[in-house]
């Protein structure tokens, strides 16, 4: 009886916090020691580099290959800032931090806890980095399309640029694209061979054949040992994640004290709300208020705008109508694309590639033919857009050419 009470006391007592943080740290990729977290609470500069690294690892793993392998610390910091901004991180303190990692550990700790609070972070990280035995393929491009990528280095040309240089670079890009196509086709052909030669070898009847990783295991015992090591480390992270879920309750009050020790930001952010703490009614009320605010702002803007352009008359209203039509068309196209892709709405993320014998009734998974159809319709949409843009460019060129009657325009051969 007495022993049990002591353990309960310990769980809520002084040792509980470091243990909770330690378990969190173990679930995160390259997580720092609890001591780093403690120092960050007091905004000690020496904790900052480790936290920048941690945020970079976490965010780039969430992106699954979206970030460059391991850029310089400054580039890492820039990337972390832009990534957090694109996810809607509200505090401005982070954006103002220097990128050399010299200070700001408390801001970074707040950013990390914001990520933890708004999504089941350890679970998502584990899902991204789990050991894969099957041959997987993404069926959608949502992630890539949604990714802002690294802020592109903006190269301003010193002087006029020779169009031939641009054509050269464009051509190079085209060749690279074709090379990529060729290697993808090669990969598919080889995958197909492996699946064909190993048919009937898999213990799982639904799969029937082996994947590349499984074939590799049979060929090379060393890769089996490597796989074992990777599975063990994944297990350790899973256990740590479980532990974190048990102990998380002591972490959040502590984070409140961290937030409390912050000097208030100019427009005070509405703390770091955990969505589940606010009731549905409260959220609805907030949403309604925001919508009202938006409506008022839009009306004021529109009134001001119309007052300004009112004098232009007919020409203006023609342009306005054209814009409205263009927007309308685009909306229709988007809606159609959405409806056509509707049956695939749930199929996101990677799928395991499985070859089925011809004539065998299809299993529960997604059929390749179905996925291809969706991609083809998407391709057709994109090509239509490309054609429209090209036509616009040609019109523009023709207009320019018309302005210079002494010039003859000859289109380049080919293409």
Partner 1 sequence: MSIVTVQLGQCGNQIGFEVFDALFSDSHCTQGLCSKRENEAYRSSCKERFFNEEENGVPIARAVLVDMEPKVINQTLSKAVQSSRWKYGQRSCFCQKQGSGNNWAYGYSVHGPRHEESVMNLIQKEVEKCDSLGGFFIIMSMAGGTGSGLGTFITQNLQDQYSSSLKMNHIIWPYGTGEVIVQNYNSILTLSHLYRSSDALLVHENDAVHKICAKLMNIKQISFNNINQVIAHQLGSVFQPTYSEEGSFHYRRNPLGDLMENLVPHPEFKMLGVRDVPRMSENSLAYSTFTWAGLLKRLRQMLISNAKMEEGIDWQVQPPLSRLPTLGKRSLSEQLRFNTSIANLVVLRGKDVHSADVAGFKDPALYTSWLGPDNAFNVWTTQRAFSKYEKSAALVSNSQFLVKPLDMIVSKAWNMFASKAYIHQYTKFGIEEEDFLDSFTLLEQVVASYCNL
How far apart CA 166 and CA 154 sit, in angstroms, is 16
- Asked if 302 is part of the footprint of partner 1 (rule: CB under 8 A), the reply reads no
Residue span 113-152 as binding mask against partner 1, x where in contact by CB under 8 A, dash where not: ----------------------------------------
Is residue 209 within 8 Å of 195, Cβ to Cβ? yes
Among 85, 190, 297, 393, binds partner 1 (CB under 8 A): 190
- Asked if 266 is part of the footprint of partner 1 (rule: CB under 8 A), the reply reads no
- What is the torsion angle, in degrees rounded to the nearest 10, for the CA atoms of residue 178, residue 184, residue 188 and residue 189? 50
Q: Is 186 or 265 the residue whose CB approaches partner 1 more closely?
A: 186
How far apart CA 122 and CA 25 sit, in angstroms, is 10
38: left (phi over 0), alpha (psi -120 to 50) or beta: alpha
In the DSSP assignment, the letter for residue 411 is P
Helix (H, G, I), strand (E, B) or coil at 146: helix
Token pair belonging to 76 = 């890492």
Among 179, 323, 388, 390, binds partner 1 (CB under 8 A): 179
Among 92, 102, 167, 396, binds partner 1 (CB under 8 A): 167
Q: Which residues are registered as beta bridge partners of 350? A: 138
How far apart CA 35 and CA 15 sit, in angstroms, is 13
- Asked if 186 is part of the footprint of partner 1 (rule: CB under 8 A), the reply reads yes
Among 6, 10, 172, 274, binds partner 1 (CB under 8 A): 172
- Asked if 390 is part of the footprint of partner 1 (rule: CB under 8 A), the reply reads no
Piece of 164-172, 197-205, 277-285, 343-351 that binds partner 1 (CB under 8 A): 164-172
How far apart CA 96 and CA 108 sit, in angstroms, is 12
The nearest distance, CB 191 to partner 1, in angstroms, is 11
| Phi/psi of residue 102, nearest 5 degrees | -85, -20
**Considering CB under 8 A, how many residues would be counted as binding partner 1?**
27
- Asked if 170 is part of the footprint of partner 1 (rule: CB under 8 A), the reply reads yes
- What is the torsion angle, in degrees rounded to the nearest 10, for the CA atoms of residue 328, residue 334, residue 336 and residue 340? 180
How far apart CA 38 and CA 89 sit, in angstroms, is 23
- Asked if 175 is part of the footprint of partner 1 (rule: CB under 8 A), the reply reads yes
- Asked if 278 is part of the footprint of partner 1 (rule: CB under 8 A), the reply reads no
Helix (H, G, I), strand (E, B) or coil at 350: strand
Is residue 74 within 8 Å of 136, Cβ to Cβ? no
Instruction: Identify the CA nearest to 241 among candidates 127, 319, 382.
Output: 127
- Asked if 155 is part of the footprint of partner 1 (rule: CB under 8 A), the reply reads no
Cα angle, residue 92 at apex, residues 89 and 96 outer, rounded to 5°: 120
The nearest distance, CB 172 to partner 1, in angstroms, is 4
Residue span 220-259 as binding mask against partner 1, x where in contact by CB under 8 A, dash where not: ----------------------------------------
- Asked if 387 is part of the footprint of partner 1 (rule: CB under 8 A), the reply reads no
- Asked if 336 is part of the footprint of partner 1 (rule: CB under 8 A), the reply reads no
In the DSSP assignment, the letter for residue 138 is E
The nearest distance, CB 196 to partner 1, in angstroms, is 13
- Asked if 369 is part of the footprint of partner 1 (rule: CB under 8 A), the reply reads no
Burial 165-185 (b: 16+ CB within 10 A, else e): eeeeeeeeeeeeeeeeeeeee
The nearest distance, CB 154 to partner 1, in angstroms, is 20
Among 10, 130, 178, 387, binds partner 1 (CB under 8 A): 178
- Asked if 372 is part of the footprint of partner 1 (rule: CB under 8 A), the reply reads no
Piece of 63-71, 166-174, 210-218, 275-283 that binds partner 1 (CB under 8 A): 166-174
Site for partner 1, rule CB under 8 A: 162, 164-165, 167-172, 174-176, 178-179, 181-183, 185-186, 189-190, 193, 410, 412-415
């Amino acid at each position: 009886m007495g022993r049990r009470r002591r353990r309960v006391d310990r769980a809520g007592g002084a040792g509980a916090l470091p243990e909770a943080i330690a378990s969190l740290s173990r679930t995160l990729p390259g997580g720092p020691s609890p001591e780093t977290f403690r120092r960050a609470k007091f905004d000690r500069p020496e904790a900052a580099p480790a936290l920048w690294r941690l945020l970079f690892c976490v965010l780039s793993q969430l992106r699954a290959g979206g970030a460059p392998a391991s850029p310089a610390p400054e580039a890492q910091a820039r990337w972390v800032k832009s990534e957090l901004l694109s996810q809607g991180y509200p505090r401005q303190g982070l954006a103002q931090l220097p990128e050399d990692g010299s200070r700001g550990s408390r801001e970074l700790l707040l950013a990390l806890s914001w990520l933890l609070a708004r999504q089941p972070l350890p679970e998502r990280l584990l899902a991204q980095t789990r050991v894969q035995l099957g041959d997987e393929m993404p069926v959608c491009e949502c992630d890539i399309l949604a990714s802002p990528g690294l802020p592109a280095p903006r190269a301003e040309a010193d002087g006029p640029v020779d169009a031939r240089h641009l054509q050269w670079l464009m051509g190079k890009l085209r060749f690279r694209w074709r090379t990529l196509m060729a290697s993808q086709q090669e990969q598919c052909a080889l995958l197909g061979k492996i699946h064909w030669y190993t048919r009937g070898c898999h213990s799982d009847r639904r799969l029937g054949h082996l994947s590349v990783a499984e074939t590799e295991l049979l060929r090379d015992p060393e890769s089996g040992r490597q796989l074992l090591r990777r599975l063990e480390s994944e297990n350790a992270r899973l256990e740590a994640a479980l532990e974190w879920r048990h102990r998380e309750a002591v972490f959040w009050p502590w984070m409140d004290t961290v937030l409390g020790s912050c000097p208030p930001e100019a427009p005070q952010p509405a703390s770091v709300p955990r969505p589940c703490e606010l009731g549905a009614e409260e959220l609805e009320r907030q949403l309604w208020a925001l919508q009202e605010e938006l409506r008022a702002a839009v009306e004021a803007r529109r009134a001001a705008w119309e007052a300004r352009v009112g004098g232009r008359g007919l020409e203006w209203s023609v342009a306005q109508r054209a814009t409205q039509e263009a927007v309308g068309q685009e909306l229709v196209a988007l809606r159609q694309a959405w409806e056509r892709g509707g049956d695939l709405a749930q199929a996101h993320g990677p799928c395991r590639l499985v070859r089925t014998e011809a004539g065998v009734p299809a299993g529960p998974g997604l059929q390749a033919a179905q996925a291809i159809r969706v991609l083809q319709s998407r391709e057709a949409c994109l090509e239509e857009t490309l054609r429209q843009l090209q036509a616009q460019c040609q019109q523009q060129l023709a207009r320019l050419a018309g302005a210079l009657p002494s010039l003859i325009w000859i289109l380049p051969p080919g293409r």
